[in-house]
Structure formats: C-alpha cells, structure tokens
Amino acid sequence: MSVRRATEADLPVLGELWRAFSQEVPEPEHVDLDPEVELREIGDAVRTELGLVAEEDGRVVGYALGRRRSSTAARLVDLYVAPDARRRGHAQALTREVVAHYREAGLRFLDLEVVAGNTAARAIYGRWGFREDSLVLIAPLEELEQRLGGQELPSFGSIHVQTDDAGLVERAVNQFVPRLPGRSRGSVVSEPRNGWVAVYDDVCDRDPEMLRRLARELSDRMGSVVAALGVEQEEVARMILYDRGGVVDEYLSVPEHYGPLPPGDAVALAANPTVIARLTGADPARIRSVARTAASFTDLPPARELLVGLADAMGIQGADHGWPGPEG
C-alpha cells in the first residue's frame, strides 16, 4: 500500500473512480452535475493543486483531491476508495498526506462537504476529528411557496374505537360531528376489524385538532379506549390514545416539530410501550421499535410509514388513509 502524487497519466483511472463514486453515493435531487465539468475539475486539481492516488499491488484503488480555500484553510474536495480495497487504511493514508501537504504550506484547517444521509462517511470523518461548523439547508420551492404563503401542507387522520359495535359508534358519531366547527361533507364508520371500529370524517381530515376533539368525545361517551392516528403536514406521524375521555399516551414522530418544548414534554411524546400494551395488547418491544422519534422528519422514514407501523403494532387496520370521500 502506498500513496503518491497523481499525474496526468492517472486521469483515466481517476475518471473511472469518480464515476463509481457518483453511482455509489448519488448527488441530492437538487444537484445537477455535468460529468464533463467534474472530470475537467479533477484534471485541474491534479495539474495545479493537489491530487493523490493510493496504490495496492501496482493498481490505483483510491484518490483524494485537495484545494486551498483561503490563507488558513483548504478543502478535501474528493476522497474515494474502491469497495474491494476498503478497510485497509487507504482513505486514512490519503487524508494524512493531504493534511501533511497543507500543514507544510502553513495552513491551519481542512474542511469537506458530505451528504447528510451518508452516515458511514460522517462516522469516519467524526472519528478523524471533523466536526460540524455550518449547515446548508434546502427546501423545494413549491413547498416554500405553500408555507410562506400561509398554506398548510395536507394532513389526514382516522379514529379507532376499541369495540365490535359499529352501530353504537355510528350513533355517537352522528351525535357529535354536527358540533364540530366547519362543514363536514360526510363521515364513514367501518365494520369492526380486529376489535376496532374506524371513523373517518372530512372535517377531521382537514384539521388534526378536530380529529383529536372527536376522538376524545367518542372515548368519553362510550367509555372506550380510542386511538386518534394521523399524519400532519405530510411530515409527522401522531398517535393519541384515550381511555374514558382522558389522554393516556401520545406519540409525535418529531416532538419539537411545532416548536421547542421542555425536555420532559418532549420525552412524553415518545409513546409509552407499557401503557399501549396494557390497553391494546401490543408487544411493548415492537412498539419501542416502530415509535421512532427524531429532531427532524428528514431523519426518519416517511410519516405514513411510521404511522402504519405503529397502527399495525397496536392491531389497528385502516390507519393509512383518511376520509375516503363521498363515494366511501
């Protein structure tokens, strides 16, 4: 194993390694790379800045590119090792030579860019001593237009009553729905499924607060365990479990999605497997595994996937959608 300066004779193999890297770790959707431009920049780095290759048995198995950014800092532009040559110290040796080169040039810092979802690379860089200094945030223009214009992203939800008496649930729904603010285009009450009767309502679909209000009233009226399950703003999954009209447990996949919370309140939104198990018969270990939380929805599976996983663990069917429309 050895590391040396790259030459123009290495450019064809560097191009192959760059193409392999771009296939293995695709650029984010918002980045549109021109391969020809990227390959020209590799050549420029080799000729005018810093290009290194790692060799094993005479074969180039990895490369690194460096570029000076200021009088004090340089950037590790590219670092890649072929999959069949990994875990043998090539990446570390390449980076060590980059560090030595810029230290000798009198610089004090080395930075790099890494895709947030490339957890394996981030873990390695963290062990080497790289730390977060700034964050680049990005959002689709269409979504920004909606939010900045005061438009909420769509939500949906459903209510599940722990009973086999669909008729009793339907009578209770017909009593309470007219009291909800907003004009409802209809409610749907399902047949019993696995000991639960589902309720879907147009007003509750559009307004998660109304979903929670109807769930609480049904639980109080019927003296039953009731679960309100939904996806809010297309981004977060929420579950609230009621027993005889009172909230006994709550889950929000991103506890601080709507703003900062005291630590205790944030923890309270993580779901309580013991309570859920007692009221629904769910396996606590399974609840723990599916009721995931994070600081951002981008660090979790899609909200609908989280919701369906939690509902399934509770033995609830039909939580993957809201009001089905006037055709039912």
293-315, pLDDT tens digit by residue? 999 998 999 999 999 999 999 99
Rounded distance, CA 291 to CA 276, Å? 11
Of the candidate CATH numbers 1.10.10.10, 3.40.630.30, 2.30.42.10, 3.30.360.10, the domain formed by 2-128 belongs to 3.40.630.30
Q: H-type helices in the chain, by residue range?
A: 11-24, 35-48, 90-104, 119-128, 141-148, 166-176, 202-206, 208-222, 263-268, 273-280, 284-290, 303-313
Kindly report whether the global pTM for this prediction surpasses the value 0.75.
no
Q: What is the pLDDT of residue 141?
A: 87
Q: What's the chain's average pLDDT?
A: 91
Between helices 35-48 and 11-24, what is the axis angle to 10°? 130
What type of residue is 256?
Answer: E
Pairing of strands 197-201, 187-189: antiparallel
Calculate mean pLDDT across residues 125-131: 94
Q: What is the pLDDT of residues 88-123, one digit of tens each?
A: 999 999 999 999 999 999 999 999 998 877 888 889
Residue 71's pLDDT is: 94
Tokens of 309: 């996983």
Mind listing the pLDDT tens digit for each residue in 166-207?
Answer: 999 999 998 887 766 665 578 999 999 999 999 999 888 888
Q: Are 264 and 252 in contact (CB under 8 A)?
A: no
Q: What pLDDT, on a 0 to 100 scale, did the predictor assign at position 128?
A: 96
Closest to 197 in 3D by CA, of 239, 169, 155: 169
In this prediction, residue 257 carries a pLDDT of 92
